Amino acid sequence: MNYIVDINCDLGESFGHFKTGQDEAVFPYLTSCNIACGFHAGDPKHMAKTIDLAIQHNVRIGAHPSYPDLAGFGRRNMDFAKAELKAIIQYQVGALQGIAKSKGQRVVYVKPHGALYNTAAKNEKEAEAVIEAITELGDDIALMGLAGSMIQEMAKEKGLSFIAEAFADRRYEADGSLMSRKKEGAVIHSPHDAVEQVWSIIHDHKVKTQDGTIVPIQAQSICIHGDHPQAVAILKAIRAAFSSTI
């Protein structure tokens, strides 16, 4: 039986003279890319460069907006009024849309980053802001988010296309949320373990938590973080395991 596997990665996170991640090395193994829009990482030059790489490798383009948190890499919770958060998201996505359009491309989906991603998955106010921001931008943009989360159901109710995402390099809690990076074992470093988790998600529609709990999961896209030191090794292993379906 064949399984279709979309592989996405958070990219374009370099800033000025500071290099983050290994974009050129991971692009050959991807089908989708989530491009930082300047609020947690990235800048206009690197946004444009990453779009060029996406064109070169025939990878679909997604925007990766976050809270305005360069110092914390977008991984700190922030509280904004709904209207302000919508504007923050639209500002970032709009910037990437403009650069993409100048190159004859379009932003296909939006995947919130870091703390915004995790909070919107379970907080109704945050989820509404994300959904409304994307819907108002138009252009048939989809939302990518945590598989099985509250925001997935809310997007469906609002008629917004949703790409359910799971992770190759992160462990899960029993409620289907991601383990906090502050907890030991939250990040998967072994390519073998990453492939095992991806295979379970795609083939068996389930994932095993750190404590052995089995959680059902239905995902359309698998993420590997671009700043993960083993990103290339993990991507190579996934490509080998799913070579006929990616």
Q: How far apart are CA 205 and CA 216, in angstroms?
A: 6
Please report the pLDDT score of residue 246 as a whole number.
Answer: 52
Reported as a single tens digit per residue, the pLDDT across 94-141 is: 999 999 999 999 999 999 999 999 999 999 999 999 999 999 998 899
Does 226 reside within a domain?
A: yes
Average pLDDT over residues 208-228: 92
Does 246 reside within a domain?
A: no
How far is Cα of residue 167 from the mean position of the Cα atoms in its chain? Answer: 9
Domain containing 44 equals 6-241
CB atoms within 10 A of CB 43: 17
Please report the pLDDT score of residue 226 as a whole number.
Answer: 83
The phi, psi pair for 178, rounded to 5°, reads -80, 145
Residue 231: pLDDT above 60? Answer: yes
Does 174 reside within a domain?
A: yes
Please report the pLDDT score of residue 167 as a whole number.
Answer: 96
Please report the pLDDT score of residue 4 as a whole number.
Answer: 66
Does 1 reside within a domain?
A: no
Please report the pLDDT score of residue 2 as a whole number.
Answer: 47
3-state secondary structure of 172: strand
Does 43 reside within a domain?
A: yes
Average pLDDT over residues 196-220: 94
What CATH number should be reported for the domain holding residue 189? Answer: 3.20.20.370
Reported as a single tens digit per residue, the pLDDT across 136-186 is: 998 899 999 999 999 999 999 999 999 999 999 999 999 999 998 889 889
Burial readout 202-221 (b: 16 or more C-beta within 10 A, e: otherwise): beeeebeeeeeeebebebeb
Amino acid (1-letter code) at residue 126: E
Q: How far apart are CA 169 and CA 158, in angstroms?
A: 30
**DSSP secondary structure letters along 3-26:** ---EEEEEE---BTTB--S-HHHH
Does 82 reside within a domain?
A: yes
The H or E element spanning position 120 is helix 114-120
* CB half-sphere exposure, 49, CA atoms < 13 A: 16
Average pLDDT over residues 25-51: 97
Reported as a single tens digit per residue, the pLDDT across 47-80 is: 999 999 999 999 999 999 999 999 999 999 999 9
Q: What is the tally of structural domains in the chain?
A: 1
